[in-house]
Structure 1
């Protein structure tokens, strides 16, 4: 099966790479328009987006569909709960940096309760007890500190981001439990947890991908717009399920957002 996935990925990515290189040749012609949309690297970003989608079609979507098929709903909920709990030290650090004492106390309480009584976070005991859940990262912290988001960036595999949020991703590695110990961070178990997290995240996003593909005139522009709206909502502390907050993709959209 792995050999089949690799073969499909190679066949899909090769033409995507050609498209990406071709997109780079249009950089000068579209530079002014891209700058106006806050996306000065748009030709390069579109090339990366094309490769990302080819990789998704060849490997990630089939793997996510298989994961959904063989994993019962309660088990998938347990995986999501575990991953959310594992990220609580990152949230805690950022609530402290933002000066949000109440959120810090609630996040510390959630992590403690779910880790002890929720079997490592598999069961979300804290939510059942009425303890509020927060979603904070260093990109949001920088925004609270007054740092602008900067140019839009499409990251390989990871998807949409910005200069500010990309920096935040790097910083958030340090308070995450999987990176507390250098040797443990590179262990097979740690990489397995990361892979499971990516697989579960992609599976939960299937509805967004399906709607986007069926309704968007320009999926790249819609992804860029949806990402910016999501981040604006999170920075305003209107948090919730990340994919649930994405706006509906429709054929009518404003290019200038």
Structure 2
């Protein structure tokens, strides 16, 4: 009986906290014109504030400490190791999108960097002319015609949309670290990966806060534009109607081309999926 009451009390507290977040978001934006891509803006702004506070209190100091004690060559090598692991997910998604030349490129990168590059510590493949094409499951879902849905801010992980949030689960399953059964080892690698990611983007977050009149809007627009570009390999078609988030805003005039008929095939300027100016700005990286 005590357990039931405790569970009910916990649910009431959680519900009250969520209601407070939504109320705070609504109160802070009384006169804003709603962006049709962001129908959850009050909730998203509340989560954005939580993420910013969490970052300032924990992640930024931790990243600065990591940067201070880690030699630059080691820091770069750790980043390369995780980039090499990301090529496994990229390989799976290039196959699902029938981009076989890119899939072969990913295989080549994995072989070269895992051997000559000492488990990916050195990015030998790029120097040999094998570029990094990072594809994720959110991009694969977009390739096959699934609309992005509403913009959605994830706690800790940052900006997303409904499609990319679903794709995030696929990214986890194909991540080799996800199969590690020893919890301490898994969480050790996961923590190192997050801290290394944040440390590599210390400057970007500070520039965003100083330069953007509304960092939330800047981050949202940058994320949505970047994800659209990534789905179309850097060549998105012009869209006549960006208004309806449930009609696929990524396709012009509502006409959806066949998956193999998208315009262009050159890689985007930056090949890291979902990366945004803030260090914790994306789960897709």
- Greater helix content: 1
Q: Offset of 1:169 from its aligned partner? A: 0.6
SS of aligned partner of 1:154: strand
Name 1:187's counterpart in structure 2.
183
Counterpart of 1:240? 270
CA deviation after TM superposition for structure 1 residue 151, in Å: 0.2
Is 1:212–2:211 an aligned residue pair? no
Residues 224-235 of structure 1 aligned to structure 2 (within 5 Å): 224-235=220-231
Q: Which runs of 4+ in 1 moved over 4 A?
A: 16-19, 24-30, 241-247
TM-score by length of 1: 0.81
Q: Does the 8 Å contact 2:135/2:273 carry over to 1?
A: no
1:155–1:77 distance in 2 versus 1, CA, 3 Å: same
Match of 1:76 in 2: 75
1:1-257 matches, within 5 Å, as 20-24=21-25, 26=27, 33-34=33-34, 36-180=35-179, 184-237=180-233, 238-240=268-270, 242=272
- 1:186 Cα offset (Å): 4.6
Q: How far did 1:135 drift?
A: 0.8
Q: Distance in 1 between matches of 2:274 and 2:139?
A: 19
Following the alignment from structure 2 to structure 1, what is the Cα–Cα distance between the partners of residues 80 and 142?
Answer: 27
Question: Alpha carbons of 1:143 and 1:239: their partners in 2 closer, same or farther (altered >3 Å)?
Answer: farther
Once residues 222 and 178 of structure 2 are traced to their aligned partners in structure 1, the CA distance between those partners, rounded to angstroms, is: 30
TM-score of the superposition, structure 2-length normalised? 0.73
Alpha-carbon distance between aligned partners in 1 of 2:276 and 2:173, rounded to the nearest angstrom: 28
The gaps in structure 2 that reach 5 residues or longer are 1-16, 234-267, 278-285
Larger radius of gyration: 2
Work out the number of aligned pairs and report it: 227
Query: C-alpha separation between the residues in 2 aligned to 1:241 and 1:61?
Result: 24
Unaligned runs of 5+ in 1: 1-15, 248-257
1:173 aligned counterpart, secondary structure? helix
Following TM superposition, by how much is the alpha carbon of 1:63 offset from its aligned partner in structure 2, in angstroms? Answer: 0.5
